[in-house]
Chains A and B, each alone.
Chain A
C-alpha cells in the first residue's frame, strides 16, 4: 500500500526554492532543501542527547554516536567511512544536550550516484547498527592499566582527557553544572571516564532501541536534486520495519538560582578564566530568544560590542585579554554566558567591571543604534547560513529537532522586524539579573 506522506513547505530566507517537509505515517520526517552546486549534505537528527541521561548513564548518547560507526549487519566497521571518504565525503557526527546528528557531505557524483549510495549507507547505519563488543572493547574499571584491548572506550576517554586540559571547558562545565538543580542539562554531554570504561553493551543497545525511533528522527537532504526522486529514495532506505515510537519524557524546568553563586578552581595556568551563566527561555519562545540574541550581539560580540569597547578598547591598561558573551538555545531553556580571560591578579576588578556593564544595561537599556546594529547582524546571519549545504541542513536540523517547528524560520525575520527596543530591554531585565547567575573562576595555583 502506498504510504500516506504529508507535505508542507516553508520559505527559507535566501534559498531559491521553499524547503519541503514530509511527515511519514510512522512519524519519521524528511526535509529537502534546494541549494545550487555540486555538493549534497545528508543528515539525520535524533532527539536524544544528555537531556535523556541520568547519573548512571551520563555520556551514553555521545558514546553511542561513536559506536554507530562500527558497522551494520550488511557492512563491517570501517566500510561506511572508507567507501564514502573514497568519494570525497566529509563524514562525522555530533552530540549535544538535545540532539545527536550524523552527516555526510559529498559531491553528488555522476547521475547522483554518490548521493544515492550515501543515502543507502547513511540509512543502513542509522537503522541497523551492530555495535560489536570487540569494537567497544572490554569493560574495565577506570584506572586499571592492565587492559590490553583498547578500543572505542579508550578513544572516548581520550576525548574526555582532551577536554580536561582545556581551561574554558573546565570553567564552562562547573558553571553549567551549578546553574541547574535537577534538569539533565546540568551534566556534561561527554560524561565521565568511569562510566565510559564500564557501561555494558546491552545498556547501550537498549538506549539505541529506545531513542532511535521514527518519530524521533528527522532526515535532511540539502543540495541540487530532483525532490521526488530523493524523497522516494529516503523513504525506501529508511525502512523502520515497524519500530515502536518513543515519546521523550518532559522535564520540569529548573528555576534559576535565587542568589548569586560563585566557585573558584585552580590550575597550572598563567591567566584567569571566568564564565558567568544565566538560564534563558525555552527554544520555541522565539520572542525572548531573539531578545537575548540581540543582547548577546550588543554586549559581547565583536569589536563594536560594549564589553570590548568599554573593558578593552577604551582603557589604557586593560584587565581583560578576552571578554565576550554567548547565547546557546536549548529546548528546555537556553543559556546566556559572559566569558572572560584576565590578568591573574585582577580577579576582583574583572568581576566587578563585568557586573557594572550588566547593571548599566539593566538600568539604562541599550541605545536605538545598538539595537539596529544587532537586528541587521541577525538578518545577515541568515544569508551566511544559506551559503553551504552543511549550514542549511544544520539550521533546519536545529529547528526541526529542538523547536519541533521549521515555520519558526519563516517567522523569525518577521518577528525580528517587529521587535522594538523596549521588548529587548524587558528581556534583559527578565533573564540577566546577577542574583540569578552562577560564576566560575579558574586561577593559577
Chain B
C-alpha cells in the first residue's frame, strides 16, 4: 500500500493486486456542511450521471455500458463517493469519463430528477422494513442531517431549487477534502500520469472546516408506525454510542459481534431465533459516522411476539452489561470479526473503498492493520465497560405493526 500526493494535492492511496482482471478506483468528496433542505445532496448525487457538457445522459450510459465500465456515485452521511470499476484495458477510458462526470455535469435534468425521486420514494416505502428504518433514523437523528431520510426528503423536496444544488456542488468542488484510492494490477507510473492528467482541475481543499454538529439524543423515544396488513412487526431499538474516532471503537465492534452480528452463533441469534423461534432475522449492528454512531438491535417477528422480543432484547443487553463474558467467547468473537473483515475486503473494489474510507476519516489508508491489532487487545473488562457505556443512555425504539399491536407498546 502506498500514498502519493497528486499534483492537485489530493492524496492517492494505491495497492497493487497482481493477476486481477479489473481495476477499482474510489474518489471521495467529504460532506462538511449540513444541507439546508433534506434531499440537496441526494439530488446532487443523482444528477452526476445525468449528463455532462460533453455527453448527454444517454450517451454517458451507453458509453459506460458499451465498455462494461461500472461508474456510479453514492451518497452517504459524510461523503459522496464515486466508484469506478472496469477491465484493466478500459481503465483510461473509465478515468476520462469519471473526470468528465465530476467536472462537467450540467445538472440540467434537475426538474426531471425531482419528479423521479418523488416517484421512487413511495415505492421504496412500500417495503415495511424500509418504512420502519426511515422512521427510526428520522427520529434518532431528529433535527440533524443524518436524519434526512426518505420521508424528510419528501417534506422538503418541493422547496429545493436547482441553484441550491449548484451551490452545494460548487462548494463541494472547491472546499471539500478529497481522497482517491486505487486497487488493481497496474504500473504506478502510468497511474500517476493518468490521474494527474484527468483530475488536474479537481483540487483538494487546504482548509478542513467541518460545520456539521454532533447530533444529541437526550430523551428516550418510542416511535410507532402503523401498517395494518403487516404479517411481521419490524422492531428496531438504537442508542447513540462512541464513533470510530473513540478508543472504544474496537471493543464496541467486538461487543456487536458477540451480541448479534457474527452470523449463526451470536447471542441474539441463539436466544431469540434458535431457542425461541421468534424470528428469521434478528441481529445487532454498529454503524459509525463522523459525528455520531449507533448501536442497534433489530428483529422482524409475528406482531403478537413484539413484547416477548423486547423482553428478549432486554435480557441479552442486561446480560452483556452485568455478567463478564468468558475469555473463550471473547476470543471467538475477535476471530470471527477479523475473519469476516477479510471476507468483506476480498475484491479490488472492496479494498479500494475501505482504504479511501479510512483515509477520508484521517485515520490513514492502512488503518485496517491497526484496527486488527486493537481488536486483538480487547479484554473481557472492555466488553462489560463499553456495554454499560453504550447501552445505558436514552434509546429510540421504533415498531411497525398493525395498529392493534401498537397500543400496548
Chain A residues within 8 Å of B, Cβ to Cβ? 14, 16, 36-39, 69, 77-78, 81-82, 85-92, 105-107, 137, 145, 150-156, 158-159, 161-162, 164-167, 267-271, 273, 297, 302-304, 308-309, 312-314, 316-318, 320-322, 341, 343, 369, 372-373, 376-377, 379-380, 383-384, 386-389
Q: List 27 A-B contacts (CB under 8 A).
A: A81-B265, A82-B265, A82-B332, A88-B335, A88-B337, A89-B263, A89-B339, A151-B274, A158-B280, A162-B280, A164-B231, A167-B126, A268-B227, A270-B122, A303-B65, A304-B58, A304-B64, A304-B65, A304-B66, A309-B61, A313-B61, A316-B112, A316-B115, A320-B119, A321-B123, A341-B123, A388-B346
Nearest chain A CB to B50's CB is how many angstroms away?
A: 9
CA distance A267 to B264 in the complex (A): 33
- Do the beta carbons of B126 and A270 come within 8 Å of each other? yes
| CB-based contact B68/A380 at 8 Å | yes
Query: A81-B264, A165-B230, A268-B227 are known contacts; what are 7 more A-B pairs with Cβ within 8 Å?
Result: A155-B280, A158-B301, A303-B64, A304-B58, A313-B57, A318-B115, A321-B119
Of B86, B232, B332, the contact of A158 (CB 8 Å cutoff) = B232
The answer to whether A387 and B347 have CB atoms under 8 Å apart is yes
Cβ-neighbour of B22 out of A106, A271, A387 (below 8 A): A387
Chain B, residue nearest A343 (CB) = B119
Say yes or no: A150-B265 contact (C-beta < 8 A), given A36-B19, A383-B21, A384-B22.
Answer: no
> A39 touches which one: B126, B277, B302, B343 (CB < 8 A)?
B343
If A85-B262, A373-B66, A387-B20 touch, whether A107 touches B339 (CB-CB below 8 Å) is: yes
Closest beta carbon of chain B to A65's beta carbon, Å = 13
Residue of A nearest to B232 (CB): A161
Flag if B335 contacts A151 (CB, 8 Å): no
Q: Which of B86, B264, B277 contacts A91 (CB 8 A)?
A: B264
Q: Which of B6-23 contact A (CB under 8 A)?
A: 19-22
Report Cα–Cα, A59/B33, bound state, in Å: 52
- Do B68 and A86 touch (CB < 8 A)? no
Verify if B98 is at the interface (C-beta below 8 Å from A).
no
Inter-chain CA distance A383–B58, complex, in Å, is 26
Whether B338 pairs with A267 at a CB distance below 8 angstroms is no
CB distance from A382 to the nearest CB of B (A): 9
CB–CB B263/A81 < 8 A: yes
Tell yes or no: B127 within 8 A of A by CB: yes
Cβ of B314 under 8 Å from chain A? no
Docked-complex contact B231 and A318, CB < 8 angstroms: no
B191 at the interface (CB under 8 A from A): no
Q: Are B228 and A268 in contact (CB under 8 A)?
A: yes
Task: Write out the residue numbers on chain A whose beta carbons fall within 8 Å of the beta carbon of B231.
Answer: 161-162, 164-165
Q: Which of B343-400 contact A (CB under 8 A)?
A: 343, 346-348
Given contacts A321-B119, A383-B22, whether A376 and B339 have CB atoms under 8 Å apart is no
Shortest distance between the CB of A37 and any CB in chain B (Å): 7
Residues of B within 8 A of A162 (CB): 231-232, 280-281, 300
Measured between alpha carbons, how far is A377 from B66 in the docked complex, in Å?
7
Q: Which of B19, B123, B126 contacts A16 (CB 8 A)?
A: B19
Nearest-neighbor residue (CB-CB) of A266 within chain B: B229
Residues in chain A near residue B347, CB distance under 8 A? 387-388
CA–CA, A69 and B347, complex, Å: 29
Which residues of B does A touch, CB under 8 Å? Answer: 19-22, 49, 57-58, 61-62, 64-68, 86-87, 112, 115-116, 119-120, 122-123, 125-129, 227-232, 262-265, 270, 273-281, 300-302, 304, 331-333, 335-340, 342-343, 346-348
- Top 7 closest pairs, chain A to chain B, by CB: A88-B339, A154-B277, A150-B277, A380-B68, A86-B332, A304-B61, A81-B264
Contact of B302 among A14, A36, A158, A377 (CB under 8 A): A158
Closest to B19 in A: A16
Chain B hits for A107, CB < 8 A: 339, 342
- Minimal Cβ-Cβ distance residue in A for B340: A88
- Cβ 8 A contact of B332, one of A85, A92, A320, A386: A85
- Cβ–Cβ < 8 Å partners of B270 in chain A: 78
- When chains A and B are docked, how far (Å) is the Cα of A180 from the Cα of B119? 33
Q: How far is the CA of A162 from the CA of B338 in the complex (A)?
A: 31
Contacts of A77 in B (CB 8 A): 274
Task: Determine whether the beta carbon of B277 is less than 8 Å from that of A155.
Answer: yes
B342-A376 in contact (CB<8A): no
Q: Could you say which residues of chain A place their CB within 8 Å of the CB of B66?
A: 304, 369, 372-373, 376
A271 and B265 within 8 A (CB): no
Q: Closest Cβ of chain A: how far from B192's Cβ, in Å? A: 25
Name B348's contact: one of A85, A304, A317, A387 (CB within 8 Å). A387
Docked CA distance A14–B19 (Å): 9
Which residues on A sit within 8 Å (CB–CB) of B65?
Answer: 297, 302-304, 373, 377
A302–B49 alpha-carbon span in the complex (Å): 12
**Is there an interface contact between A106 and B278, defined as CB atoms closer than 8 Å?**
no
Are the CB atoms of B87 and A87 closer together than 8 Å? no
Minimal Cβ-Cβ distance residue in A for B279 = A158
CA distance A320 to B20 in the complex (A): 39
Q: Inside 8 A of B336's CB, which chain A residues have their CB? A: 85-89
For A158, the chain B residues whose CB sits under 8 A away are: 232, 277-281, 300-302
Which residues of chain A come closer than 8 Å to B335, judged between CB atoms? 86-88
User: How distant is A116 from chain B, measured CB to nearest CB, in Å?
Assistant: 16
**Chain A residues with CB below 8 A from B128, complex form:** 165
Are A271 and B126 in touch, CB under 8 angstroms? yes
| Min distance, Cβ A443 to any Cβ of chain B, angstroms | 11
Q: How far is the CA of A166 from the CA of B300 in the complex (A)?
A: 13
Which of B87, B263, B278, B304 has a CB less than 8 Å from the CB of A383? B87
For the complex, give the distance between the alpha carbons of A135 and B305 in Å: 20
CA distance A37 to B342 in the complex (A): 10
CB pair A78 B112 closer than 8 Å: no
CA distance A155 to B230 in the complex (A): 17
In the assembled complex, the Cα of A155 lies from the Cα of B279 at a distance in Å of 5
Contact between B331 and A153, CB atoms less than 8 A apart: no
Partner of A165 from B21, B57, B232 at Cβ < 8 Å: B232
CA distance A106 to B336 in the complex (A): 9
Nearest chain-B residue to A309 (Cβ)? B58
In the complex formed, the residue of B with least CB distance to A13 is: B21
A376 near B68: Cβ-Cβ < 8 Å:
yes
Chain A residues within 8 Å of B61, by CB: 302-304, 308-309, 313
